């Protein structure tokens, strides 16, 4: 790098009295008062004070650069690498975030709409292929996150390995996605209560309860988030495995006669023949791909959590490999069973009032069809927990992304405020306050408001995943060009650069499919042009927003695409002298028995 190293102004008194490593010591920032027994209130108020490590003034611009609006990518890399977020997540937290992170309403409820539009074969094909794409993407993310467990993760990688303007667009795109998702999920959670209590007037009360609960979890810090997700994920995983076992039994014994009465016959793939395996031909398949892509949203959170993990080199590869099992077992197998139990022409699949209305869930419908009375309520509880889990993740995802953007001088600087418990306090407050939009549930215009809010984040995951794949491709090129070998990587993507190309191309194809189905949706009426225009912009609004942010920032800051030989492949590496250690570990693996090699490959 040709630029001089970025200078930091450090308050040495603060630096001595506090550090992330000493954060668990009650006397770490007490100075001469360490003998005094502090009250709970005192400890609580002091925990919200700024971490002195976060008060380092990282100026992204020199005086000369500021006049020309030039962007200093080196300073941005330093800022994310030395973020004072605390490393409190353990391996079990990370594994359950990876396994259960994206199991939510997209699987439990959204799959019903996909089944109705595309049929059971399209449902299975779309989710399987999207799973392959996501597997490649997450492996690329794992390789980057293990080497550079920095704040902001994939948004920071776009700034570092692609173009600072694209990093700005991706960071804000991702933050907006989660900021909008929070109120939507809280309203969805209140709607799940309607399954038992049919009183719309109580919706605002349930919104208040759920919003306070989610905010409290996140104000207790990253460890509280990890513990909550651990519990939520265990419940979701248990429910899916239980449903798979139940679904097999229903398939064997749940057939009906010509009058629709249960006769205990074997169903098999009867519904694939009548009403059929595919519906709405190729367009039905494309619309199902779009639903599948949205259902997997949140998978990338495991990479964002790397910066707050105790030992990412050990725990992150294991968590990344869990994605294979989630895709195979939880999505593909459960949806295969759903497609054999629920016909795609069942009118209930399209009668949901929201993305979390369990009345439209094919999981619930299949249990109702089998005549089991109690379990639909149990599935509704699981759907509610899934919704709250996504809401919990939304505050985490948006606050960490906003704080990282602020540290890189791509967002207002006050958002970079991180307190002594490692919480990006102002970013969490902003995300929580936007949750108040959930009270729009009491408005007559709630559906219009939520449709446009959702449109802002509709394509966010597609852009994020595509950027991860492209950043990995560019990183590998820079890594080789600057004289490094793959043996120096603590975790290497098993699908390599080829897998990243597969992921990138597949994401582009999903964007094309979304454009087509947004412009000409399944079952559209040709005599309603206003409906088509509204539907298209609600489906594709995120794309012009990203383009405007990218072009505007690029013109203002005059950024350029970073060349491979100029990329910083050093800053932020948590463990430096790792080559010898890795060689010893690889030599040890050669002596493993075959069963262990196979197990470790997948787990």
98: burial class by Cβ within 10 Å (0-12, 13-18, 19+)?
buried
Contacts of residue 278, Cβ cutoff 8 Å, sequence gap at least 6? 118, 119, 121, 122, 284, 285
Q: What is the mean pLDDT of residues 396-403?
A: 92
Cα–Cα nearest to 192, from 424, 382, 406, 41: 382
Q: What is the DSSP string of 266-327?
A: --TTHHIIIIIS--SHHHHHHHHHHHHHHHTTTTTHHHHGGGGBS-HHHHHHHHHHHHHHII
Does the structure show a pLDDT above 60 at 530?
yes
Q: Tens digits of per-residue pLDDT, 455-476?
A: 777 788 899 999 999 999 999 9
Q: Tens digits of per-residue pLDDT, 119-142?
A: 999 999 999 999 899 999 999 999
Task: Write a three-state SS string for 381-410.
Answer: HHHHHHHHHHHHHHHHHHHHHHHHHHHCCC
Q: What is the mean pLDDT of residues 154-172?
A: 93
CA distance 536 to 437: 24
Does the structure show a pLDDT above 60 at 489?
yes
Does the structure show a pLDDT above 90 at 161?
yes
For residue 333, what pLDDT is reported? 92
Q: Tens digits of per-residue pLDDT, 325-368?
A: 777 778 899 999 999 999 999 998 887 666 667 788 899 999 98
Cα–Cα nearest to 465, from 404, 510, 497, 402: 510
CA distance 397 to 300: 10
For residue 189, what pLDDT is reported? 83
Q: What is the mean pLDDT of residues 241-258?
A: 85
Residue 8 phi/psi, 5° resolution?
Answer: -120, 140
Domains and CATH numbers, the chain: 85-602 (1.20.1740.10)
For residue 185, what pLDDT is reported? 84
CA distance 186 to 188: 5
CA distance 356 to 30: 48
Q: What is the mean pLDDT of residues 472-489?
A: 91
Choice between 206 and 470, residue whose per-residue pLDDT is larger: 470
Q: Tokens standing for 182?
A: 């929070």
Q: What is the mean pLDDT of residues 188-210?
A: 79
CA distance 194 to 566: 57
Q: What pairing do the DSSP bridges indicate for beta strands 8-9 and 57-58?
A: antiparallel
Q: What is the mean pLDDT of residues 299-318?
A: 85
Residue 50 phi/psi, 5° resolution?
Answer: -60, 135
Q: What percent of the chain has pLDDT over 90?
A: 29
Supply the angle between the helices 375-407 and 362-369 in degrees, to the nearest 10.
170
Q: Tokens standing for 415?
A: 């958002």
For residue 58, what pLDDT is reported? 45
What b/e sequence results for 534-572 when a residue is b if at least 16 CB atoms lie within 10 Å of its CB, and e otherwise?
Answer: ebbebbbbbbebbeebbeebbeebebeebebeebbbebb
For residue 242, what pLDDT is reported? 93
Q: What is the mean pLDDT of residues 82-90?
A: 80
Choice between 31 and 541, residue whose per-residue pLDDT is larger: 541
Phi/psi region, residue 264 (left: phi>0; alpha: psi -120 to 50; beta: rest), is left
Strand partners, 309: 89
pLDDT band with cut points at 50, 70 and 90 for residue 66? very low
Whether the Cβ atoms of residue 89 and residue 223 lie closer than 8 Å to each other: yes
- Across the chain, mean pLDDT equals 81
Using DSSP, state whether 441 is helix, strand or coil: helix
Most confident listed range (53-62, 460-469, 587-596): 460-469
166: burial class by Cβ within 10 Å (0-12, 13-18, 19+)?
buried
Q: What percent of the chain has pLDDT over 70?
A: 82
CA distance 228 to 207: 19
């Amino acid at each position: 790098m040709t630029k001089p190293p970025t200078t930091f102004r450090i308050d040495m008194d603060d630096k001595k009295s506090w550090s992330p490593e000493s954060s668990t010591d009650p006397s770490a920032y007490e100075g001469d008062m360490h003998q005094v027994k502090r009250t709970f209130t005192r400890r609580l108020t002091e925990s919200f004070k700024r971490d002195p490590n976060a008060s380092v003034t990282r100026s992204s611009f020199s005086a000369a650069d500021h006049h020309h609006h030039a962007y200093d990518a080196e300073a941005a890399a330093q800022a994310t690498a030395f973020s004072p977020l605390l490393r409190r997540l353990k391996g079990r937290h990370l594994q359950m975030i990876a396994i259960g992170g994206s199991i939510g309403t997209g699987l439990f409820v959204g799959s019903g709409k996909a089944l109705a539009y595309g049929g059971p074969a399209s449902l299975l094909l779309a989710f399987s292929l999207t799973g392959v794409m996501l597997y490649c993407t997450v492996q690329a993310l794992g390789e980057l996150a293990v080497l550079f467990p920095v704040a902001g993760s994939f948004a920071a990688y776009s700034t570092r390995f692609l173009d600072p303007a694209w990093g700005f667009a991706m960071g804000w795109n991702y933050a907006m996605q989660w900021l909008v998702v929070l109120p939507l999920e809280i309203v969805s959670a209140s709607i799940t209560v309607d399954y038992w209590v049919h009183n719309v007037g109580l919706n605002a009360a349930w919104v208040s309860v759920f919003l306070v609960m989610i905010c409290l979890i996140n104000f207790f810090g990253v460890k509280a988030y990890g513990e909550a997700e651990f519990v939520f994920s265990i419940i979701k995983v248990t429910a899916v495995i239980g449903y798979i076992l139940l679904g097999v039994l229903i398939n064997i014994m749940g057939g009906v006669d010509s009058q629709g009465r249960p006769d205990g016959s074997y169903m098999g793939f009867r519904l694939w023949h009548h009403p059929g395996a595919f519906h709405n031909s190729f367009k039905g398949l494309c619309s199902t791909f779009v639903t599948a892509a949205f259902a997997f949203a949140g998978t990338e959170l495991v990479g964002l959590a790397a910066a707050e993990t105790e030992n990412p080199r050990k725990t992150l590869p294991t968590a990344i490999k869990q994605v294979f099992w989630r895709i195979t077992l939880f999505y593909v197998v459960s949806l295969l069973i759903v497609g054999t139990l629920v016909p795609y022409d069942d009118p209930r699949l399209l009668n949901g009032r929201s993305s979390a209305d369990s009345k439209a869930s094919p999981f619930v419908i299949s249990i109702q069809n089998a005549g089991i009375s109690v379990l639909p309520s149990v599935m509704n509880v699981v759907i509610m927990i899934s919704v709250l889990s996504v809401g919990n993740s939304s505050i985490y995802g948006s606050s960490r992304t906003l704080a990282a953007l602020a540290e890189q001088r791509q967002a207002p600087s006050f958002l970079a405020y991180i307190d002594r418990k490692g919480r990006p306090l102002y970013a969490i407050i902003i995300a929580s306050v936007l949750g108040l939009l959930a009270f729009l549930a009491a408005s007559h215009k709630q559906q219009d408001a939520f449709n446009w809010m959702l449109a802002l984040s509709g394509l966010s995951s597609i852009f994020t995943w595509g950027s991860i794949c492209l950043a990995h491709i560019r990183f590998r090129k820079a890594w080789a060009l600057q004289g490094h070998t793959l043996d120096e990587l603590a975790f290497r993507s098993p699908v390599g650069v080829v897998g990243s190309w597969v992921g990138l191309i597949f994401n582009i194809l999903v964007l094309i499919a979304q454009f087509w189905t947004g412009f000409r949706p399944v079952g559209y009426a040709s005599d309603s042009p206003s409906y088509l225009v509204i539907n298209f912009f609600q489906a594709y609004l995120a794309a012009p927003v990203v383009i405007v942010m990218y072009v505007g920032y690029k013109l203002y800051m005059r950024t350029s695409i970073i060349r491979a030989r100029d990329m910083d492949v050093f800053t932020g590496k948590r463990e430096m002298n790792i080559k010898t250690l890795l060689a010893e570990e690889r030599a040890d693996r050669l002596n493993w028995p075959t069963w262990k090699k196979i197990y470790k490959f997948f787990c």
